[in-house]
Amino acid sequence: MQLKAVCATTKPSSLLTELPPLGMDVASITDDFRRYYNYTLGCDGDCLSTHYPYKALVLTLRDRLMERWKKSKYAARTKDCKHAYYLSLEFLMGRALGNTMLNLGITDEVGKSLYELGLRLEELAEVEMDAGLGNGGLGRLAACFLDSCATLRLPVMGYGIRYEYGMFRQLIENGYQVEEPDHWLRDGNPWEIERPEHTKRIRFGGRSEHYRDADGRMRVRWVDTHDVLAVPYDVPIPGYRNGVVNTLRLWQAAATDVFDLGEFNAGSYPESVAAKNEAENITMVLYPNDASENGKELRLRQQYFLASASLQDVLTRWVRSYGNDFSRFAENNTFQLNDTHPACAVAELMRLLMDEYGLGWEEAWEITSNTMAYTNHTLLPEALEKWPVRMFERLLPRLLEIIYEINARFLGGVAARWPGDTDRLRRMSLIEEGPEPQIRMAFLAIVGSFSVNGVAALHSRLLVEGLFRDFYELWPEKFNNKTNGVTQRRWLAGCNPALSELISENIGEGWKTDLEQLRQLRPLTEDHEFRAAWRAVKRLNKRRLAELVEAECGVRFDLDAMFDVQVKRMHEYKRQLLNILHVIHLYDRIKRGDTKEWVPRCVIIGGKAAPGYAMAKLIIKLINNVAGVVNNDPEVGDHLKVVFLPNYRVSAMEIICPGTDLSEQISTAGKEASGTGNMKFMMNGAITIGTLDGANIEIREEVGEENFFLFGLTAAEVEAVRKNYNPAAIVAADEDLGRVMQLLGSGHFNQFEPGLFEPVIHSILSPFDPWVVAADFRSYVDAQRRAAELYRDQERWTRMSILNTAASGKFSTDRTMREYNEEIWKLTPIEPQGE
Ligand code: 26Q
């Protein structure tokens, strides 16, 4: 870890002279692979584990990334090259192997090389663990952003945390979710490179001390702190066939060196080791909540740890190039905050500029507030982060002082603009008063940023009309929308090779970097042969998905059935409950013999529940119990199958979305900020059944209302209905819903567990159900019927499927990143040498 001595030595220039580029042909790949396998990894005839060839392959590929990585770094180091930094507590990267080969353009060569060596690429790819360093949408969005930035040649660096344990593995036991730790680094991570020479020191606790510096100026220093080291690990982020490799820098916590510890603990060895553990705890585990778990001290430590290490890293590089002149810092650097999770960066940049580099408040604030940009990802008030002032004071006393000063100056401005409006001051204060005063991190982020954006048109509008209204009145120019996207490299080219090939045969390969080109598929909807080919591809992908389902759940799917899929985090607002009520309704119809012109369905639901979220976990249990009854009823047979697919994750979605017919996007309107799964399904030719929520609205606009199954109340209607909501009356008036509630209430799905689902029944019948499940039931069931009827006409369904893919161009993160860059970052693309 202590490489200071090593770094101090100057490198002989002969070490760094450029080597001839590594071959991208089969023979070169084979040579390197064998060298790694035999020498580096020391394999012989006794090495049976597939881990060795996997690792040899990664090292072979990493070398090819490395030369491009260096050139990209040099290209981005030219004077005044502006950078953006994506600060995120989550990067849900999934696997890197397939994506690396795709972006380097050597998938076929590698496949051939391995084949000649008697190995199968598909088998080696399965060895790689998902890098599950995120919960869901927000974390996966960060990963898609990095892919697009590298592809657009933008000098963007990701900063995150190298969690020892990522998102938990979900097992299902007796229908219940059981969490298992995800020790993804157990066999090492061959993609990453440790960079101990860029280690940073992070302080906690202590107190601030005011003093006069040599020039007689009042300064502040933070003393008596407990320090932790932040050690960076760099992960390469290749662009698509353009010679660019950007960096994702992940910080790992380490104890300050043992001598300090020994002294601090007065020679008490066990206490000293305990202190080491406490330091290393910071990056031990990802918090598995996709909504909030407010007030946990370790989480705040993680947030500050990331913000401080990343800012120090950028400032160190700045000072190396420009000395202590920060006048052009804001012109050359932007920090994009992925939600409020890294928002203490606002106060930390102020601290570093003032306390470490001696700037005055005004100068530091000018820089900070022109450097930070904030993205909001939620409208749920309970998910807005707040930290108890008392905890902040104990852990980050100097930051609290700075936040108080930011608040005082900010409220001064508000009072000047709205004299005498004390209620407004209370509403807008960065500190929420009460028995336990709290810091409102979203407000800190808004005040400290020059840009605030939502992630879909509806979401951005609701933000300025609701939660952030007061701030919008003050600074309308700060607020903007950036509709999310997904990268078509992973989510079409990589995960759906059969469809990609069919598309490219017909319209060329341009769509891989210009997704709008998929529009050229539109005329092909009238081509009978093309439609047949499209259906054949879907069937192939359905077979792959059915195999996964059978392996995981032991249930056989009929490939002619409609594959109806909802995969996403488990949350009441996403209404997996509404989905399973529809399944119960279908079961009820079958049992009543109401099966004329029946369309067989296979329903897949998957997703993780936060370990402390009892209702979400109970809904998982309900889905599994309904599945148990439905799948084992001979009368139901192939009319209907239902499974809860365990351990939903990035690599599972790569099999799921290509094989889906119907994409369930059924959140209560006004609650889902954007959704991004909806875009992956659409790109792969699934048709959406959905509410007017998040990016669904824009999906429907792009594909046309006739190619989207719309149902449910609008966001405005939901708010109106809730004021006078009477679900019991809705149940009484709807025979179908009445029978579903009757089946649920009778214990039909919990014969041996009486009363188990009472909380679920109660929530549906509650006049205070925020998600208005009962209110949308009828319209949902009707939309499902329209979907089924349409599915019976396979030619029409195929047309709609093609049109969905053809209209998905807007939902590429290439478009999203272009917008961030044109309107927020303003970076110039880099041009690495020799590409
Ligand atoms: C907060 C405090 C303490 C612990 C955890 C958290 C926490 C962690 C993760 C809070 C929220 C998240 C994740 C939120 C998220 O994934 N939001 C989703 O972001 C997507 C990308 O913009 C959107 O498409 C989804 O609509 C939105 O739900």
Q: What per-residue confidence (pLDDT) applies to 277?
A: 86
Which three-class secondary structure state does DSSP give residue 642? strand
Q: How far is the CA of 384 from the centre of ligand 1 (A)?
A: 10
Mean pLDDT value of segment 387-399: 98
Q: Ligand 1, closest atom to CA 459?
A: 26
Which of 249-263, 515-529, 600-614, 731-745 bottoms out in mean pLDDT, i.e. has the lowest?
A: 249-263
**Ligand 1 neighbour 300 (Cβ under 6 A):** no
For 200-226, how does the pLDDT look when each residue is reduced to its tens digit (9 = 90+)? Answer: 999 999 999 999 999 999 999 999 999
Q: What is the DSSP letter of 609?
A: P
Among the listed residues 176, 376, 291, 177, the one whose alpha carbon sits nearest the alpha carbon of residue 574: 291
Active site residues: 377, 568-569, 574, 676, 680
Q: How far is the CA of 90 from the centre of ligand 1 (A)?
A: 9
Q: Ligand 1, closest atom to CA 484?
A: 22
386 with 379: CB under 8 angstroms? no
Q: How far is the CA of 103 from the centre of ligand 1 (A)?
A: 28
Q: pTM above the 0.95 mark?
A: yes
170 with 608: CB under 8 angstroms? yes
Mean pLDDT value of segment 347-352: 98
How far, in Å, CA of 39 to CA of 59, rounded?
A: 12
**Ligand 1 neighbour 401 (Cβ under 6 A):** no
Phi/psi zone of residue 667: left (φ > 0), alpha (ψ -120 to 50 degrees), beta? beta
334 with 84: CB under 8 angstroms? yes
User: Would you place residue 273 in the very low, low, confident or very high pLDDT band (cuts 50, 70, 90)?
Assistant: confident
CA-based R_g, the chain, Å: 28
Which three-class secondary structure state does DSSP give residue 34? helix
Which of 9-23, 256-270, 487-501 bottoms out in mean pLDDT, i.e. has the lowest?
A: 256-270
How far, in Å, CA of 428 to CA of 412, rounded?
A: 11
> Does 13 or 170 have the greater pLDDT score?
170
User: Would you place residue 15 in the very low, low, confident or very high pLDDT band (cuts 50, 70, 90)?
Assistant: confident
> Does 8 or 347 have the greater pLDDT score?
347
Tell me, rounded to whole angstroms, the distance of Cα 58 from its chain centroid.
24
The three-point CA angle 609-611-617 to 5° equals: 50
pLDDT at 45 over 90: no
Q: Ligand 1, closest atom to CA 675?
A: 24
Among the listed residues 374, 334, 315, 308, the one whose alpha carbon sits nearest the alpha carbon of residue 84: 334
User: Would you place residue 616 in the very low, low, confident or very high pLDDT band (cuts 50, 70, 90)?
Assistant: very high
**Ligand 1 neighbour 292 (Cβ under 6 A):** yes
pLDDT at 16 over 90: no
Average pLDDT score over the chain: 96
Mean pLDDT value of segment 122-130: 97
Mean pLDDT value of segment 504-509: 98
For 529-565, how does the pLDDT look when each residue is reduced to its tens digit (9 = 90+)? Answer: 999 999 999 999 999 999 999 999 999 999 999 999 9
Residue type at position 582: H
Q: How far is the CA of 134 from the centre of ligand 1 (A)?
A: 9
Phi/psi zone of residue 608: left (φ > 0), alpha (ψ -120 to 50 degrees), beta? beta
Mean pLDDT value of segment 229-258: 95
Q: Which of 299, 378, 483, 816 to mutate to test ligand 1, by most ligand atoms within 8 A of the CB atom?
A: 378
**Ligand 1 neighbour 608 (Cβ under 6 A):** no
Mean pLDDT value of segment 156-185: 98
User: Would you place residue 669 in the very low, low, confident or very high pLDDT band (cuts 50, 70, 90)?
Assistant: very high
**Ligand 1 neighbour 287 (Cβ under 6 A):** yes
pLDDT at 262 over 60: no
User: Would you place residue 3 in the very low, low, confident or very high pLDDT band (cuts 50, 70, 90)?
Assistant: very low
The residue whose CA is least distant from atom 15 of ligand 1 is 138
Q: What is the DSSP letter of 556?
A: P
Among the listed residues 338, 378, 248, the one whose alpha carbon sits nearest the alpha carbon of residue 820: 338
How far, in Å, CA of 425 to CA of 418, rounded?
A: 9
User: Would you place residue 272 in the very low, low, confident or very high pLDDT band (cuts 50, 70, 90)?
Assistant: confident
**Ligand 1 neighbour 299 (Cβ under 6 A):** yes
639 with 345: CB under 8 angstroms? no
For 687-710, how does the pLDDT look when each residue is reduced to its tens digit (9 = 90+)? Answer: 999 999 999 999 999 999 999 999
Tokens standing for 309? 């290490």
User: Would you place residue 6 in the very low, low, confident or very high pLDDT band (cuts 50, 70, 90)?
Assistant: very low
pLDDT at 245 over 80: yes
Q: Which of 377, 379, 459, 811 to mutate to test ligand 1, by most ligand atoms within 8 A of the CB atom?
A: 377
- pLDDT > 90: percent of the chain: 92
pLDDT at 11 over 90: no
The residue whose CA is least distant from atom 21 of ligand 1 is 138
Neighbours of 257 (CB within 10 A): 11
- pLDDT > 70: percent of the chain: 97
**Ligand 1 neighbour 293 (Cβ under 6 A):** yes
How far, in Å, CA of 234 to CA of 237, rounded?
A: 9
Q: What per-residue confidence (pLDDT) applies to 258?
A: 60
Q: Which of 90, 91, 92, 138 to mutate to test ligand 1, by most ligand atoms within 8 A of the CB atom?
A: 138
Q: How far is the CA of 69 from the centre of ligand 1 (A)?
A: 31
Could you tell me where the beta strands, DSSP code E, fall in 358-424? 372-375, 386-388
User: Would you place residue 13 in the very low, low, confident or very high pLDDT band (cuts 50, 70, 90)?
Assistant: confident
